[in-house]
């Protein structure tokens, strides 16, 4: 488990608490809290399921999408991570924790792509 990822999950949990008061928003926030808890234990499949559920319950919950992106990244689903980060940023432009997470993801993703290209070149 990447320690920085869990720290960002906790930070985005705080942002989720300030959102709407409707039943769907409350249920979404509960899913995010549960997802953060299981992510801290390294249970990324369960965390991802909870963050996906949170995003379905409240499609305006930027924390759910940010945390979903982290879970996708942890599971090696880099396309899914990028899509979730972009949605989180669309929902909360300028949100520092989301921007930091996305920047770290982009740097790592670019490195993965460069390494993959090098491996392909070496195999030729």
pLDDT at 14: 43
Any alpha helices (H) in the chain, and if so which ranges?
3-16, 23-40, 44-57, 62-74, 78-91, 96-123
Check whether 118 has a pLDDT greater than 90: no
Our count of domains for the chain comes to: 1
Could you tell me how far CA 40 lies from the centroid of its own chain? 13
Q: Provide the pLDDT confidence category of residue 13 given band limits of 50, 70 and 90.
A: low
Cα distance between residue 80 and residue 12, in whole Å? 19
Contact status, residue 65 vs residue 88, Cβ threshold 8 Å:
yes
Q: pLDDT digits over 43-82, tens only? A: 999 999 999 999 999 999 999 999 999 999 999 999 999 9
Tokens of 41: 């234990």
Q: How many CA atoms lie within 13 A of 92 on its CB side?
A: 23
Nearest to 71, CA basis, from 55, 52, 58, 87: 52
Domain of 76 in residue numbering reads as 3-123
Neighbour tally for 27: CB within 10 Å: 15
pLDDT at 22: 85
pTM, two decimals, is 0.81
How far the first Cα of the chain sits from its last, in Å, is 34
What CATH code is carried by the domain that includes residue 41? 1.25.40.10
């Amino acid at each position: 488990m990447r320690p920085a990822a869990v720290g960002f999950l906790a930070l985005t949990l705080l942002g989720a608490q300030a959102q709407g008061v409707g039943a769907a928003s409350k249920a979404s926030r509960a899913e995010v809290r549960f997802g953060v808890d299981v992510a801290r234990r390294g249970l990324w499949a369960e965390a991802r399921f909870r963050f996906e559920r949170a995003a379905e319950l409240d499609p305006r919950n930027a924390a759910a999408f940010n945390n979903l992106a982290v879970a996708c990244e942890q599971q090696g689903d880099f396309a899914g991570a990028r899509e979730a980060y972009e949605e989180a940023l669309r929902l909360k432009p300028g949100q520092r924790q989301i921007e930091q997470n996305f920047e770290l993801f982009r740097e790592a993703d670019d490195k993965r792509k460069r390494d993959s290209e090098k491996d392909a070149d070496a195999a030729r």
